[in-house]
Structures are given as structure tokens and as C-alpha cells.
Structure 1
Amino acid sequence: MRTGPAAGRSGYFHEALCYALDEELLAVAVPFLLDGVAAGEPTFVALGERTGGLVRSALPTDSGVQFLTGAGVYARPTAAIRMYRKLLADLVADGAEQIRIIGEVPPPSLGPTWDWWARYEAAINRAYDDWPLWSMCAYDTRITPAEVLADVAATHPHFATADRGHLPSPDFLPPETFLRRNRPVPPDPIQAYPPVLELTDPTAAQARSAVHRAGPGQLPAEDFDDFVIAVSETVTNGLRHGSPPVRLRLWTAPDRIVATVSDTGQGPEDPYAGLLPPTDGKPGGLGLWITHQSCNHVTHYRDAEGFTLRLTAGQPPMPGAAVHSEPPGDDSRPGGSVGQQVSSGTRP
């Protein structure tokens, strides 16, 4: 039997907890967690080091609450979805009638990479709806930008309040509606310079070879290999499911590599493409799912010229990051010697 505001419901009860004081966080989190343990429900904390420490200190010793490593859980949206879906399935298979989780995305994710976390918050309304989950997503309003809070209101059906209330969000949007919105995507600062390579209608093999020639810079070998796979999958999707021409462009910086793959089509019809594992055989689903797990940031947009996916490996730019003083095509930059525009066809 389910307890709390989810009693009598099926599926996912998704709440946001927006707080301006640490005391407000604890006023909601501690009863939420202890009530779950008292009801015999698997109960978890997936907060960051600071907020997780506050909650741990406020709980009694041997409270029965289980702590997950927040930074590890929320490394990438698709990784979080994959981990939670397995956890929820295993717990329900063991007899759980309700699971409680309070978590938060890491504060750096509230900046330039927030767009894919906003899509995560929308997508999990469906991704976790097969299980009796009651979760709270914590947002500290002292550090959360107003535009992020607007997305929080649009992606969470309910708000938890410090007086233990559970209010509907008047701004909530069905996840499909939210995910289909064409969000503005600010360019990475290194995109202010010409790309180090540009290919039109490359094969997947040509794309992989060109990225390898550009080089990994200072990226770990595993991260670079994952990025090459992501570029290959994205180019393949564009060739198979997009509209020609398909154009690959690549920029490099000491701490990251950015690639865009564009075609003149409208992009995938499935609003969950890339965020949820494909189960219905829709075109491009598996490639986008792999891509979202292989990069440190994936975003997309539509404009008058078609659909573009942007992939980032390495450290995405922080808020207010300045453009590097040397253009990416300079030979002193990683991949700079490749950067005299290479093309396998004509530009559109």
C-alpha cells in the first residue's frame, strides 16, 4: 500500500522542492525520509556533498535511509535514467510497494548544460511511471536561475512545501509538449571561430577518421573514443533518417571538443529520442540513446535550415566563460593542423 500524497495512485508521483533556506530543505526532507523508513519503503538520498551532509547530520544514527552518491548518479541524464530504472525494477521485484527518493542535479548543471537536464526532468514523468516512485527534486532558489525555476515548474506536476504540503504546479506541461518546444541553444564560445574541419555528406567511417585526425587534445582516451562513437552514430542517423545534405563541423579547445551534425530535415518525431531507451523501433532511437550516453553534453535545435545536434566531450563551458584567445584553427590548438576546412562535398 502506498503512503503520503501518492496513496491510492499508480505510477510516478513527481515533486519539486524549491527552498531558500537550509532549514526549509530539512523541514521537508527529514520527515519525508523517516516516514518512508517507518512505512517499510526503500528510501534514498541522492543529494550533493553539501546538501547530503546536511540531511545526513539531521537524521538519527542508523536511520535506515540509504545514501547514493549524488554526483555519480547525475553525471549525465541518460545515465541517471538507466540507473534509476534498474533500481526501481529491482526494488519492485523484491516486493516494494513504494520507493522514496530525494535528489538534486549538481549545481554546475544549472548553467549552460541545463537544457538537457530540463529535458530529463520532463522525460522522467514517463520514464519512471512504470513503478510506484515518489520522488522530490530539490532546487536551492539562492543559486538557481529564474529560467531554470520556470522549467522546474513546467516539468514537475507537484511542489512539496515546508509545511508538508503537496501542491499542484499550475505551470506543469505534459512532457511531450515540453520536449517538443524548440529551446534556444546559445553557441559554445569556441564556435565563434571557424571549425577545424567541415565535411558534407561524409560516411560514418569518414567522420570517424576526420575526428581522429583532429585528435583528442587533453581529453582522456576513453572520453575521446566515446565522442568518436557519438559523432559516428549522429552522422549515420542524419544520413539514414534526415534530409541531405548532412554537414559535420568540429571545433577544439584544450578542455573540450564540440561537434555539430546538421541536416535539412525536422529531426526525430519521438520527443523522447535519446533520453529513453528505444523500445518501439522508431528510426534513430538507438543511435541517439548511445550518443546521449557518450558525451558530456548533447543538445539540439531546429531553425529555417533544418535540424542540428551538438555534441560536447570534455568540460562544457562554465557560465560567463570567455572565448579562448587563439582561434581553434591555430596550430597551437589541439587539432589545429587539421583545420584548413576539409570538405567531401559542397556546402548547402
Structure 2
Amino acid sequence: MRTGAAAGHAGYYHTAGCFGSDQELLDLAVPFLMGGAAAGEPSVVVLDGRNAELVRAALPAGAAVTFLPGGAVYERPASAIRSYRGLLAGHLAAGASQIRIFGELTSVAQGVTWDWWARYESAINHAYDEFPLWSICAYDTRTTPPAALADVLRTHPRTMLPDGRCLPNAGFTDPRLYLGERRAPAPDPVQSGEPAADLVDPSLSAARRVIRAADRGHLAPVEVDDLVVAVSEAVANAQRHGVGPVRLRVWSGIDRLVVTVTDTGDGPQNPFAGLLPAGDGADGGLGLWIAHQSCNHVALYRHADGFTIRLTAGNPHH
């Protein structure tokens, strides 16, 4: 039986928790976690640094609450989904009637890579809906950019307030609509210069070759290898499922490689492509899933000229 605000709800009860002070953070976290512990529900905290210590110190000694490092869980959106689905499946198999998670994205995720984390927040409404999960996704209004906060209200069906009330978000947008919108990512400064390579309808071997040639030795070999695989998949996807011509461009910075693959089609029809596990041959599924596992930032966007996937290896935070 489900408890708390999620009582009577089937599937994922996805809530945002916006706070503007340390006390408001604790007012959100402590009753939520202790309510879960009292009901015998697995209760998990996914925070880093000072906020993790604040919550840990506010809980009674021996409270049945598990702490996980946010930086490890929230490394990449697709990896976070894979990790959480494994965690949730384990608790469900053990007989949990509800699982509670109180988490917070790292502050760096709210910067130039926010676009794929906003996609994550939207996609998990679907990705976790087979589990009896109630989560509070915490956002500090003192540090979260206004544009990100606007996305938070669009990707979470409801908001938990520090006073204990849970209110519906009027601006919540169905994930299939939200993920299908034209949302250009923040431009990477290296793209303002001339690309190191600019190919039209490249072979896969040529695509792999120009990626390795563009590396100046600043990146770890494994990062270059992962990017080569991701670019190969992106080019193959564009050639198989897109509309030609396919254009590959590569930019080299001192701490990253940025690659775009553009075709004149509309992109994958599956709005969750890349974020959810694939492998059944669905349009754009497996290649995008591989790219989301192997790159440090993946941006997908539709524009007047077609569809582009942008892949970044190295430091994506400019």
C-alpha cells in the first residue's frame, strides 16, 4: 500500500521540491524520508557535499535511509536511468510497495548541459512509471537558473512545498510533446571557429578517421575511442533513417572535441530515443543509446534545415 502524498497513486509519483534556504531543504527532505522509513519503505538520498551532510545530520541516528553520491549517479542522463531502473527493480523484487528517493542534480548539470538533463526529467515520467516510486527532485532557487526552473515546472507533474503541501504544476507538459519540441542547445564556443573537418556523406571509415585526426592529444584515448564509436553510430543512423545529404563537422578545442551530424530529415520519431534502453531495431534507438552512454554531452535538436545530433567528448562545460 502506498503512503503519504502518493497514497492511491499507480506508477511514478514525480514531484519537484524547490527550496530557498537550508531550512526549507530540511523541511522537504526529513519528513519525506522519515515517513518512508516509518512505513518500511526503501528511502534513498542522492545528494552531494554540504546538502548531503545537512540532511544526514538532521536525521535521527540509525534512520533507515540510504545515501548515494549524486555525482556518481547523475554523471550522464542515460546512465542515471539505467542505474535507477536497476535499483527500483531490485526493491520491487524484494517486495517494496513504495520506494522514496530524494535527489538533487549536481549544480554543473544546470549549466550548458542542462538541455539533456531537462530531457531526462521529462523522460523519466515514462521510464519509471512501471515502479511504485515517489521522488522529490530538489532544486535550490538561489542557484538554479530561471530558465531551468521553468523547465522543472514543465517536466514535473507536481511540486512538494516545504510546508508539506503537494500541488499540481499547471504548466506540466506531456513528455512526448516536451521532448518533441525544437529546443536548440546552448552553442559551444569552439563552433564559432572553422571546423577541423567538414564532410558530406562520409563513409563510416572516413568519419572515424577524421575524429582521430582532430584529436590533439588533450583527451584520454578511451574518450576518443568512445567518441569514434558514437560518431559512427550517429552517421550510420543518419544514413539509414534520415534524409540526405548527411553532413559531419568536427571542432577541436583544448579540452574537448565537438562533433555535429546533420541530415535534412525530421530525426527519430521516438521522443525517448537515446535516453531509454534500446536494441530492438527501433528507429534511431540503439545508436543514440550508445552515444548517450559514451559521450559527456549529447544534444538532439530539430531546426529549419533538418535534424542535428551534437556529440561532445572531454569537458562539455565550456
TM-score after normalising by structure 2: 0.98
Aligned residues: 318
- Unaligned regions of 5+ residues in structure 1, if any? 319-348
The answer (yes or no) to whether the contact 2:279–2:286 under 8 Å persists in 1 is: no
Q: In the aligned structure 2, how far is the partner of 1:178 from the partner of 1:216? A: 38
Corresponding residue SS for 2:100 = strand
In the TM superposition, residue 293 of structure 1 has moved relative to its aligned partner by 0.9
Hey, what does 2:300 align to over in structure 1?
300
Hey, what does 2:314 align to over in structure 1?
314
Amino acid at match of 1:168: P
Hey, what does 1:193 align to over in structure 2?
193
Hey, what does 1:290 align to over in structure 2?
290
Q: In the aligned structure 2, how far is the partner of 1:26 from the partner of 1:273? A: 36
Hey, what does 2:96 align to over in structure 1?
96
The answer (yes or no) to whether the contact 1:216–1:224 under 8 Å persists in 2 is: no
Amino acid at match of 1:307: F
Q: In the aligned structure 1, how far is the partner of 2:216 from the partner of 2:44? A: 38
Amino acid at match of 1:75: E
Hey, what does 1:239 align to over in structure 2?
239
In the TM superposition, residue 92 of structure 1 has moved relative to its aligned partner by 0.3
Hey, what does 1:342 align to over in structure 2?
none
Q: In the aligned structure 1, how far is the partner of 2:304 from the partner of 2:182? A: 12
The answer (yes or no) to whether the contact 1:154–1:171 under 8 Å persists in 2 is: yes
The answer (yes or no) to whether the contact 2:215–2:257 under 8 Å persists in 1 is: no
Q: In the aligned structure 2, how far is the partner of 1:113 from the partner of 1:259? A: 15
Hey, what does 2:145 align to over in structure 1?
145
Amino acid at match of 1:313: A
Q: In the aligned structure 1, how far is the partner of 2:252 from the partner of 2:50? A: 34
Aligned-pair Cα RMSD in Å: 1.1
Hey, what does 2:76 align to over in structure 1?
76
Q: Any idea what the Cα deviations from partners look like across 1:40-88, whole Å, max 9, x if unmatched?
A: 0011000121211110111112111000111000000000000000111
Worse overlay, 203-212 or 134-143: 203-212
Corresponding residue SS for 1:101 = strand
- 1:236-275 pair list within 5 angstroms: 236-275=236-275
Q: In the aligned structure 2, how far is the partner of 1:260 from the partner of 1:16? A: 33
In the TM superposition, residue 186 of structure 1 has moved relative to its aligned partner by 2.8
TM-score after normalising by structure 1: 0.89
Query: Identity over the aligned pairs, expressed in percent?
Result: 56
Hey, what does 2:9 align to over in structure 1?
9
The answer (yes or no) to whether the contact 1:217–1:253 under 8 Å persists in 2 is: no
In the TM superposition, residue 182 of structure 1 has moved relative to its aligned partner by 0.4
Worse overlay, 257-266 or 209-218: 209-218
Hey, what does 2:169 align to over in structure 1?
169
In the TM superposition, residue 204 of structure 1 has moved relative to its aligned partner by 1.6
Q: Any idea what the Cα deviations from partners look like across 1:136-189, whole Å, max 9, x if unmatched?
A: 000000001111010000000010011111111111011111111101223200
Amino acid at match of 2:236: T
Hey, what does 2:46 align to over in structure 1?
46
In the TM superposition, residue 215 of structure 1 has moved relative to its aligned partner by 2.2
- Unaligned regions of 5+ residues in structure 2, if any? none
The answer (yes or no) to whether the contact 2:259–2:312 under 8 Å persists in 1 is: yes
Q: In the aligned structure 2, how far is the partner of 1:26 from the partner of 1:47? A: 13
Instruction: Point out the structure with max Rg over C-alpha.
Output: 1
Q: In the aligned structure 2, how far is the partner of 1:115 from the partner of 1:217? A: 28
Q: Any idea what the Cα deviations from partners look like across 1:179-237, whole Å, max 9, x if unmatched?
A: 11101223200101010011111122221122112225321222221111111110110
